[in-house]
A and B are shown apart, each in its own frame.
Chain A
Amino acid sequence: MRVIEISCLEVWKEISNFIDNDVEPELRARMEAHFKVCAHCTAILDGAHNVVKLVTDGVEYKMPDGFSRRLYDKIKDK
């Protein structure tokens, strides 16, 4: 089956949905074919993938010490 080409600009627009597995199979096939021949878009894809991994694993909003206790007290005193 011949896969219809897709431009870099179109690929960038969908790259986040591609990572989330939220693109139609036909578009996914076109994007995958594009990545095979476009080093620039592959670099963008790999980078965006790594961002998701880094943010998921490495960003932590640690609650300040005593946060839960103070919250509980506020509710109790309401």
Chain B
Amino acid sequence: MEALNPSLETRESELVQKAGAGCREAFYQLVQPCERVLFASAMAILNNEADAEEAAQEAVLKAFTNISRFRGECKFSTWIIQICINEARTKINKARKYLYESIDEPENGEDGDYFPRDFADWREIPSEALQRKELREALQRAMASLPEKYREVLILRDIQHLSIEETAQVLGIGTGNVKTRLLRARLQMRDALAPGIDGNWSLGRQEYAKVRAW
């Protein structure tokens, strides 16, 4: 677990104490830096803005009610993201009981080996590529198409930059599973995106001529 630097740790601990005594302002000061990651974590699971906002709000209120249970063994942000993820999972499981996915999945519970769909070459991202609407849309589509368990790891690691250990803790899984899911997520995203961009990077390279248009 990544440690806070001593001054931040003291500050966080003071705010937690005040929040525990019922100070809402102190609690909001703790929550405010986590707003974005709370929303993104809930979005990873629910894929719907309104539901994600509701889950984040419910998580924050639950955290306030239970602040006395926060012992400072991890960062406040890790603790509250964990609550938010549980809240989002409860919400989605209510909506789709048949798709229930246990968070007590065993460490080696991932599927078999990964095989790339193809070997389309993708050496460089054109600097202007991200400005293009079609790439941004393809990126969003590829994210949305990932299985939930891969999407949440990708968001926590590559967008919110949590460490492997923090990601494992908030998701309630082992670090080995985090790494496996991250591998799957990144490679499935590559499968979805590599043969695209504008399709012309394979020109002149017969061996990588298999290109799918978006």
Contacts and interface: CB of A to CB of B under 8 A. Distances in A.
Interface in A48-64: 48, 50-61, 63-64
Interface string A63-78: 1100110111011101
B53 A52 contact: no
B136 A58 contact: yes
B36 A75 contact: no
Q: Is the interface of A mostly helix, strand, loop or mixed?
A: helix
Contacts, number: 127
28 contacts: A12-B114, A13-B183, A17-B183, A22-B179, A39-B207, A43-B121, A44-B119, A44-B187, A46-B121, A46-B122, A47-B122, A47-B190, A47-B194, A50-B125, A51-B189, A51-B190, A53-B125, A54-B125, A54-B193, A55-B159, A55-B189, A56-B159, A64-B53, A67-B35, A67-B39, A71-B57, A75-B28, A78-B64
Interface of A: 9, 12-13, 15-17, 19-20, 22, 39-40, 43-44, 46-48, 50-61, 63-64, 67-68, 70-72, 74-76, 78
